[in-house]
Amino acid sequence: HVQLVESGGGSVQHGGSLRLSCSASGYTYSRYSMAWFRQVPGKKREGVAAISPPGRAINYADSVKGRFTISRDNARNTLYLQMNSLKPEDTAIYYCAAADDIWSLDPTRYPYWGQGTQVTVS
């Protein structure tokens, strides 16, 4: 079965950096679009960045363009999110997701999800 496990979250000061990882198993990782989403309690889940199966096409939310970088290693079945210049408004639970579909920022297009990792910026 599909399993996605995020890691790398934590607490960081305004302007700092974090790198999230998502380890995937149970499916042919290289054939699936992958994405990062985030959610604050009481708010809708927000698309942060999405990447095509081979990693050549990428979408970013306007709020993170120029600060976050999504990448993937298909040999290691791992997705990454490098987050720089972090702001307090980036505080959220970050989830990785997989879909046999276009690399969208719409969470309804993704059937597979990790358990999330907390990022706190103060």
- For 11-23, what is each residue's pLDDT tens digit? 999 999 999 999 9
91-105 mean pLDDT: 95
User: Residue 29 pLDDT > 90, yes or no?
Assistant: yes
Spatial distance between the Cα atoms of 111 and 57, rounded to a whole number of angstroms: 20
Question: Does residue 101 have a pLDDT over 90?
Answer: no
Tell me, what's the pLDDT at 62?
97
pLDDT category at 83 given cuts 50, 70, 90 is very high
Give the integer Cα–Cα distance in Å for 88 and 103: 27
- Cβ atoms of 63 and 38 within 8 Å: the answer is no
Q: Is the dihedral of CA 17, 104, 76, 4 positive or negative?
A: positive
pLDDT tops 90 at residue 39: yes
Chain segment 43-71, per-residue pLDDT in tens: 999 999 999 999 999 999 999 999 999 99
Distance (Å, whole) CA 40 – CA 118: 10
Query: Coil, strand, or helix at residue 118?
Result: strand
Instruction: Give the pLDDT confidence score for residue 49 in this predicted structure.
Output: 98
The amino acid at 75: A
